[in-house]
Amino acid sequence: MTHYLQGLLFGIAYIAPIGLQNLFVINTALAQPRRHALRVAAIVTFFDISLALATFYGVGKLLTWLPWLKLVVLGVGSLIVLYIGISLMRAQAPQLQKSAPTQFSYWRATMAAFAIAWLNPQALLDGTLLLGAFRASLAPLAANFFIVGVMTASVVWFTGLTLLISWLRDRFTTKFLLLLNRICGVIIILYAVKLISEFFQLIW
């Protein structure tokens, strides 16, 4: 139980800082009905957990062993992240009325969630270093309890964040939501620029 709680606390501390996944979940919860937002939260959670498992058990080391793979992930991932940021910048403010029709694509949401997790080299490397370090310090059974705690944290965090934002969304004005879209878009574009610069540094 101790190692499970350690994993749970570590998972919350690792996920909680504002990042691409949190921005994506928040924006979806504000722009879409709660049922859509919860399903997107489940999709984000799935990819977050799969990434945690992969890095915890060492798959993330492939990026350090295979430089060309890191180059591919960095190049493709930076372009997708840039596209997501530009899309947010160009998006219109969502209509908050419950009767308003909404356009939504689970396929696009799934691809975006996948890109934010698995095509994010920083997440892969950070996960490898942080989770890999814990994995090396724990006995096999303790390690299993620890990673289950991390997985639980992912479920609790993204579901709780979605429910909280969905509950508060009616208190936000359309102007505020438009501004939030722009802010999220700028942050994601700046992150994409950082990834693109790292891509060219590897090439040159």
pLDDT (mean) for 174-198? 78
DSSP 57: T
- Residue 100 is predicted with a pLDDT of 42
Chain position carrying tokens 């102007």: 175
Structure tokens at 160: 């709780």
Smallest CA-to-CA distance from 97 within 174, 176, 179, 175 is with 174
Smallest CA-to-CA distance from 145 within 134, 155, 156 is with 134
In the chain, what percentage of residues exceed pLDDT 70?
A: 87
More confident residue, 125 or 196: 196
pLDDT digit string (tens) for 39-91? 999 999 999 999 999 888 876 566 667 778 777 877 877 787 788 778 777 76
For residues 15 and 7, give the distance between their C-alpha atoms in angstroms, rounded to a whole number: 12
Domain extent at residue 28: 2-203
- Residue 15 is predicted with a pLDDT of 82
pLDDT digit string (tens) for 88-129? 777 665 554 443 445 678 888 898 888 888 877 777 777 776
Residue count of the chain: 204
- pLDDT(151) > 90: yes
- Rounded to the nearest 5 degrees, what angle is found at the Cα of 38, between the Cα atoms of 159 and 99? 135
Indicate the number of domains in the chain: 1
